[in-house]
Amino acid sequence: MSESLWDDEDVQPTGGDFVKFPNVGDVVVGTITAIRKQRFDDGDQVSYAPQLDLELADGSEVTLTAGQWHLKKLLIEQRPEVGDRIKVVHTGKQGRSKLFTLDVRRPDAGPAKATKRGTARAVLTPDAVSDDTDIPF
């Protein structure tokens, strides 16, 4: 008897809710609990994006998929690891692309070196973000 597609580990969702950045000013702050690459296959082209699971201050977990080119660029430059605390902020748009800032706090060190473009934000609605979004990194 073959296993159902719905039991396949590759099909199962990872992490909790997914972070979205619909509005400028959307932010997410959390500690990275897992990092992996997410594969996208639209039939004509295959692409990959970093995917991070974040634990928020209230103990809930969200998944951040960095498909936006600017956020992906910032993550590649700053190279956060599991255990690092990050703050991602959606800061604006350039054409159709979203712009972000990314702050990384290593557990045993100060902030990661800042990039030329600043930090990155991910969006939960401002009401859903805990009071620790303004904690100093």
Give whole-number Cα distances, 11 to 7, 15, 23, 26, 43, in Å: 8, 13, 30, 29, 17
CATH number of residue 47's parent domain: 2.40.50.360
27, part of any domain: yes
Q: How many domains are there within the chain? A: 1
Identity of residue 17: D
Say if 137 falls within a structural domain: no
Q: Tell me, yes or no, whether 51 lies in a domain.
A: yes
Model pLDDT for residues 47-92, shown as the tens digit of each residue: 889 999 999 999 999 999 999 999 999 999 999 999 999 999 999 9
d(CA 64, CA 29): 11
Digit-coded pLDDT (tens) for 81-90: 999 999 999 9
Residue 73, domain extent: 16-125
Two tokens, residue 49: 């994006």
How do residues 2-48 score in pLDDT, each as one tens digit?
677 777 777 666 655 889 999 999 999 999 999 999 888 888 888 88
Tell me whether residue 86 is in a domain.
Answer: yes
Q: What is the pLDDT of residue 125?
A: 39
